[in-house]
Amino acid sequence: MGTERGQTEPTPSEPAVEPVLTGAALIGREVALAPVGPGVYRMLGLDGEVLYVGKARSVKKRVASYCHVLRLSTRIRRMVNETRSLEFVTTHTEAEALLLEANLIKRYGPRYNILLRDDKSFPQILIARDHSFPQVLKHRGARKRKGDYFGPFASAWAVNETLTILQRAFLLRSCADTVFESRTRPCLLYQIKRCSAPCVGKIGPEDYAGLVKDAKAFLGGDGESINGDLARHMEEASERLDFETAAQFRDRISALAKVLSRQDINLRGVEAADVIALHSAGGQSCIQVFFFRSGRNFGNRAYYMGHDRDDTEARILEAFIGQFYSNLPPPPCLFLSHRLAQPGLIEEALTVLAGQTVRVSTPERGAKRKLVLHALSNAEEALGRRMAESATQRRLLDGVAKLFELDSAPNRIEVYDNSHISGSQAVGAMIVAGPEGLMKSAYRRFTIRGAAADASAEASTEAGADAAPAPIPADAPPAETVVATEKAALAAGFAPGDDYGMMREVLTRRFARALKEDPDRQLGQWPDLVLIDGGPGHLGEAQRVFAELGVAGVALAAIAKGPDRNAGRESIYRPDRAPLALDHQDPVLFFLQRLRDEAHRFAIGAHRGKRGKSVSRSSLDEIPGIGAKRKRALLHHFGSALAVTRAGRDDLARVEGIDRSMADKIYDWFHAGR
């Protein structure tokens, strides 16, 4: 049909673009979708970053409270403004929501939540039950091996001390099963009376089982009766004039006495409990946890919580308990220094985790109250030491800022060093320091690729070409330029022992990745200062890497030891500046020396670990079908890998586990082409 005169054909109207909602407006829209019952909600920021994880009896009511911006604290208001989306998870009960919240906080580490900064697993003692002569050993992680577990202990030191007592008092073996099976004569531990040598028949299965039973009873809290039994056996041996046996029992009694006499901090009448005390000052908090198991004190440990100044003690404790016991079975009793806002909810959640009833209380008087006060004084002292160290650290960082002409004290300092032997097993290392000291979770190791014989081929493969990398187009986008520059640097390779080339590779890989993953420098992973262990040559390489990648706004410096590598006479090199030598008593110099030495220690450790792995490898590892068992059989039969390479087919076939076809395969592997 045509169009009538005087009328124009209507044009289709463009769809209205719905504005992108953020902050309180977004939350107000999402409230309608929030579940009414218990559950967990997550507030997400730009690029899906988890800003906050919360739980509530009614998620709908809790989320709706964030719409009233004027009632929120400054910190929470900032979080709301950064929110770009929300996610909800429903649960059957509020206790389940509490457990899920703790797990999600540990997984994502949201910056607006109260965070437990140290959540390492606790060491335990395991007496295995998968061998006729059980082994006693230190254990961390999941309880996968069949046996009896005792703990947790507050530290590895506490476990090692207890293991030493077990060896001296009960003579249990600590060697691995493979070592046990291969022994033909007693080891040194038998000679120094710390093992009964079941590996060579010095003790029978029944007598050894008796020692294991006594050790379990001791770890279970029955040390006094075990001590009495040993004293009776010692007297009986003395009456028989068997003074050698009596002396052995005497030594075992002496070992037990050292432990039993030190149990001055005890919880009588309570089999297992944790004492948790919180002390806050200056916007910081320290929580001390004392572990009591089997009626004995298994040590204590201090924890520091990241939280807002406005958070209450009850809220901090609740967040700590939820995260702390997410990977640790809670004991039947918890004694706290402060009352919780919802103790019943915490008890219900911990009961679900433990599979048994858990009671949470705040003692007001008696021995339990004294123990809580003791833990509280430990928390106060630990926080005082930490705050004093932080103040000293801030002064040192201010000195660093003044030395390197920075606008403010650096929040992140990265120090780099390499370690190798004539270019072999080369490793680069990066350590990180900040206002709270060394940030060991941010340390990184770099396996040097260019120093290896096949590094050029590997790097060329990464660059996507067998020949030299293609030139970078002048109009290439920044991200493509970064990638191409990184591949070009890695493809170039360098001669073994080229320390400059190694440093160039490490810095290229580190900052090319930073440019790709965090180009806007919003994730806190960019350093304010890069310090290199080396001289002006190393500094020049770092400058070239930064120029090629387009890195700006990061201060660079190199620190080199003085003549004869004399500490205290270091020279500090800065771009376009004369070398600087600080007074040998300058605290800033001591600080820089410690950072340099820590980087060196970390690099040496990484190199030794890599070298140790290469030493343990042999030419047998490359043969298809040769696993650990066959490799061990070949080495035991011939004595060395070199002897295996020289063996004939018939000789190889005589080895246990090596049939004729495998013998032919091994022989052909070493003699192909001859």
pLDDT of residue 531: 93
Pinpoint the alpha helices (H) of 355-469.
Answer: 366-403, 455-463
Edge-to-edge strand list for the sheet holding 333-336? 115-116, 296-306, 284-293, 272-281, 333-336, 359-361
Biggest CA–CA distance in the chain, Å, is 133
Q: Which of 415 and 10 is assigned the larger pLDDT?
A: 415
Question: Roughly what angle, to the nearest 10 degrees, separates helices 366-403 and 587-616?
Answer: 100
Residues 643 and 606 both lie in one domain: no
Mean pLDDT of 59-64: 90
Residues 427 and 515 both lie in one domain: yes
CB 529 within 8 A of CB 413: yes
Mean pLDDT of 575-596: 85
Cα 67 to chain centroid, rounded = 38
Residues 578 and 639 both lie in one domain: no
pLDDT of residue 338: 92
Residues 529 and 605 both lie in one domain: yes
- On the question of pLDDT at 14 being above 60, the answer is no
**Domain that residue 527 falls in:** 413-614
Output the domain CATH number for residue 653.
Answer: 1.10.150.20
Does 649 map to a domain? yes
pLDDT 10s digits, 345-384: 889 889 988 888 989 999 988 888 888 998 999 898 888 8
Output the domain CATH number for residue 105.
Answer: 3.40.1440.10
pLDDT of residue 564: 53
Boundary of a domain, candidates 76, 98, 113: 113
Of 167, 226, 213, 163, residue with least CA distance to 193: 167
Q: Name the pLDDT band for 424 (thresholds 50, 70, 90).
A: low
Q: What angle do CA 125, 131, 132 make, to 5 degrees?
A: 115
pLDDT 10s digits, 318-334: 889 988 888 788 888 99
Residues 464 and 530 both lie in one domain: yes
Q: Which of 336 and 487 is assigned the larger pLDDT?
A: 336
Output the domain CATH number for residue 342.
Answer: 3.30.420.10
- On the question of pLDDT at 483 being above 70, the answer is no
Mean pLDDT of 218-247: 72
pLDDT of residue 539: 92
- On the question of pLDDT at 627 being above 50, the answer is yes
CA distance 24 to 396: 42
Residues 609 and 629 both lie in one domain: no
Does 567 map to a domain? yes
Mean pLDDT of 464-476: 36
Residues 327 and 436 both lie in one domain: no
- Worst-scoring range by mean pLDDT, 450-454, 490-494, 585-589? 450-454
Write the Ramachandran bin of 578: left for phi over 0, alpha for psi from -120 to 50, otherwise beta. Answer: beta
Q: Name the pLDDT band for 496 (thresholds 50, 70, 90).
A: low
Mean pLDDT value across the chain: 79
SS3 643: helix
Q: Which of 63 and 252 is assigned the larger pLDDT?
A: 63
pLDDT of residue 19: 54
Does 438 map to a domain? yes
Does 537 map to a domain? yes
- On the question of pLDDT at 37 being above 70, the answer is yes
Q: What angle do CA 581, 585, 591 make, to 5 degrees?
A: 80
- On the question of pLDDT at 336 being above 90, the answer is yes
Q: Which two tokens stand for residue 468?
A: 């030299």
Q: 546-553: long-range contacts (C-beta < 8 A, 24 or more apart)?
A: 546/507, 546/511, 548/485, 548/489, 548/508, 549/482, 549/485, 549/486, 549/508, 549/511, 549/512, 549/515, 550/478, 550/481, 550/482, 550/515, 551/511, 551/515
Mean pLDDT of 94-105: 87
Mean pLDDT of 23-39: 86
Residues 380 and 512 both lie in one domain: no
Does 201 map to a domain? no
Does 3 map to a domain? no
CA distance 120 to 302: 12
- On the question of pLDDT at 2 being above 60, the answer is no
Residues 482 and 592 both lie in one domain: yes
pLDDT of residue 674: 44
pLDDT of residue 456: 33
- On the question of pLDDT at 465 being above 50, the answer is no
Does 351 map to a domain? yes
Mean pLDDT of 602-627: 67
Mean pLDDT of 109-126: 79
Q: Which of 473 and 222 is assigned the larger pLDDT?
A: 222
pLDDT of residue 503: 87
- On the question of pLDDT at 468 being above 60, the answer is no
Q: Name the pLDDT band for 265 (thresholds 50, 70, 90).
A: low
Q: Which of 85 and 451 is assigned the larger pLDDT?
A: 85
Does 7 map to a domain? no
Boundary of a domain, candidates 61, 94, 113: 113
Residues 570 and 653 both lie in one domain: no
The domain total for the chain is: 4
pLDDT of residue 450: 67
pLDDT of residue 460: 31
Of 38, 56, 55, residue with least CA distance to 93: 38
Q: Name the pLDDT band for 231 (thresholds 50, 70, 90).
A: confident
Q: What angle do CA 199, 201, 204 make, to 5 degrees?
A: 110
Of 320, 258, 265, 319, residue with least CA distance to 295: 265
CB 43 within 8 A of CB 63: no
What is the pTM for the complete model shown? 0.58
Residues 444 and 561 both lie in one domain: yes
- On the question of pLDDT at 91 being above 60, the answer is yes
Q: Name the pLDDT band for 624 (thresholds 50, 70, 90).
A: confident
pLDDT of residue 472: 38
- On the question of pLDDT at 648 being above 80, the answer is yes
Residues 638 and 607 both lie in one domain: no
Q: Please state the length of the chain.
A: 674
Pairing of strands 284-293, 413-421: unpaired
Boundary of a domain, candidates 386, 404, 423: 386
